[in-house]
Structure 1
Amino acid sequence: MNTAELLMLALLLDALLGEPDWLWSRLPHPAVLMGKCVSWLETRLNTGSARRVKGVVTAACLVAIGLTLGGLLSLFGQLVEVIIAAILLAQRSLVDHLRAVALGLSQSLVQGRDAVAMIVSRDTDRMTGPQVTRSAIESGAENMSDGVIAPAFWFLVAGLPGLLAYKMINTGDSMIGYRNARYAQFGWATARLDDLVNLIPARLTGLMMAIVGGCLRDWRGIIRDARKHRSPNAGWPEAAMARALGLSLAGPRSYDGKMRDFPWVNETGAKGITGPAILRCCEILWKTWALALALTVAIALIF
């Protein structure tokens, strides 16, 4: 089978099984192992002087580990490649997490806050219902790119080594890619590398969402709002999702007890949104997944 055919099977397997509790309650998840690898490097290298240089070394190590491990695992055959790719895709688990937030909000605001705290890093203890809803939808849009489309893209480009290298970089960015006193220098290289490897997938995700969401005619507005985002990539799927649902995303939010005044995405959209909007977001995510699957099938047939 070619790489596209393997990806097709992995997409389907992930959608069917997601993250089975019976398995990951007994074995460490690959994402946990990747996190431990990043933590090991950070503990030993993020000290003393020349932290930016050490950060470059760390980023190179993450890529090398991903490529090497992916190459070794590929030697075990295509079935292993499909299973590992399915594990590292996150469509089913992403939607399950979002639905948990919607269910929590339907029961109480406190339960909605508790559920969204599992998937976002911002302060959640004083969130209103609309803030909980926006946070979940923003996380869903961004993670559709980081957790599904980007891994699939790099699997198509470079097989399992490409996928594992991407996941190592993305995991590294989520742990050390912050602009604070501890990581501003050391995490710079990993953060910039993550921006680079997500450059095409994020825009592709936004385009696909705009197509399935029926808002491709607003593409110029999506571009305009995407450029307002503090991330060079996350704004694309968020802006597309906001227009697909007809609501506003982003805006002011609190981190570590401090309010930060971020610009609105699709500022004229609805702001008083509630839990059902999360379920509509899930529909867009599944339609985007279906389009990705269809494109993968087309590539498999062509090549």
Structure 2
Amino acid sequence: MYFSTALIAYIIDYFFAEFEKIKFLKHPIIFIGDYIKWFEKRFYLDNIYRGFILTLSLLCIVFSITYIFTLVDNVLFQGFLCSFAISSKMLYESVKNVINSSNPKYAISMLVSRDTKEMKQSEINKAAIETYAENLSDGVIAPLFYMICFGLVGAFIYKAINTLDSMVGYRNEKYENFGKVSARLDDIANYIPARITALLIALLFLSKKAFLNFNKYGKKHESLNAGLPISAIALALDLKLGGPTSYFGKIKDKPYFGEGKEEITKEDVKKALNIKIRIDIFILFFLSLFTIFSY
């Protein structure tokens, strides 16, 4: 177990947020995205096999590079590299910017794939809460989970899988076959973290209703995992998230998650964001405790 590495990584992300202000330092996920774009441009075919080659080749590259870095047996160095796999502070600031922005439609368009031009303020707020809950799993809990279990290699193999899904894992004419392996692998990789995230949301909001019912609503989502943390935060805040949503000019009849009010305000977004300090305290305490007992 790599508790000390994960602890250092989380502390670094807490203060420096993926070093986003250091212009000459290119984020590792950008390299992963660049490879996916290059492969797609050169080798795209509308079949599952070609998508499998993309996934396999990328994971082999990421494994090889990160394994080489693990040969440097220094916990501070490992923690520094692992911090790039966590997006806790950046996620928080990005969602907070939506409700503080003078152009909230543009701000939310940077975070979601749904159509934003005709969004009402309530829909913007709803999208902000949904993306925050879902990305608590993808950007915080999941990379930490694989980091604790498998160190640097595990963290970046997960991030590669998640990046693949976000770029080619769509169920549309172009990617239905090409992105199928990536999408299914992402479902598998996020199965445990998504459930941990939903339980954490219920626990940290002290919501019995969320604890007992997040799976009831979450399983309605077309994704095996995404609906669980969204349902947990909806139930914890007495909101009704989800519902009909426009994607690429077409209305998608998504189910509702939760059983509260449908008119979502900026105050609701602030309440959702309030979980960050609780998550920070919980994770830092948990990692510190296990780091001490692992020595």
Q: How do 1:140-179 residues align onto structure 2 when only pairs under 5 Å count?
A: 140-179=132-171
Instruction: Give 5+ residue unaligned stretches, structure 1.
Output: none
Secondary structure of 1:22's match?
coil
How much does 1:291 deviate? 1.9
Kept in 2: contact 1:229–1:235 (CA 8 A): yes
Kept in 2: contact 1:176–1:186 (CA 8 A): yes
Answer yes or no: is 1:257 the counterpart of 2:255: no
Answer yes or no: is 1:302 the counterpart of 2:293: yes
Tell me how far apart the structure 1 counterparts of residues 218 and 140 of structure 2 sit (CA, whole Å): 19
How much does 1:235 deviate? 0.9
Answer yes or no: is 1:278 the counterpart of 2:277: no
Secondary structure of 2:116's match?
coil
Tell me how far apart the structure 1 counterparts of residues 204 and 21 of structure 2 sit (CA, whole Å): 34
Q: Write the deviation string for residues 250-294 of structure 1: whole angstroms up to 9, x where unpaired.
A: 11111111111111101x311112112111111113322332232
Q: How do 1:189-268 residues align onto structure 2 when only pairs under 5 Å count?
A: 189-266=181-258, 268=259
Of residues 180-189 and 72-81 in structure 1, the stretch that sits farther from structure 2 once superposed is 72-81
How much does 1:302 deviate? 3.2
Q: Percent identity?
A: 33
Kept in 1: contact 2:5–2:151 (CA 8 A): no
Amino acid at match of 2:65: L
Match of 2:40 among 39, 42, 45: 42
* Structure 1 residues 239 and 284: alpha-carbon distance in aligned structure 2, compared to 1, 3 A threshold: same
Tell me how far apart the structure 1 counterparts of residues 280 and 165 of structure 2 sit (CA, whole Å): 24
How much does 1:21 deviate? 4.1
Match of 2:96 among 89, 95, 99: 99
Kept in 2: contact 1:89–1:151 (CA 8 A): yes
Match of 1:67 among 52, 63, 67: 63
Kept in 2: contact 1:13–1:86 (CA 8 A): yes
Q: Write the deviation string for residues 104-152 of structure 1: whole angstroms up to 9, x where unpaired.
A: 2xx5xxx111111111111111111110000001000011100010000
With the length of structure 2 as denominator, give the TM-score of the two structures. 0.94
Kept in 1: contact 2:209–2:236 (CA 8 A): no
Instruction: Give 5+ residue unaligned stretches, structure 2.
Output: none
Tell me how far apart the structure 2 counterparts of residues 168 and 178 of structure 1 sit (CA, whole Å): 16
Amino acid at match of 1:161: V
Tell me how far apart the structure 2 counterparts of residues 301 and 270 of structure 1 sit (CA, whole Å): 44
Q: Write the deviation string for residues 81-109 of structure 1: whole angstroms up to 9, x where unpaired.
A: 111111221010000001101112xx5xx
Q: CA RMSD in A?
A: 1.6
Corresponding residue for residue 86 of structure 1: 83
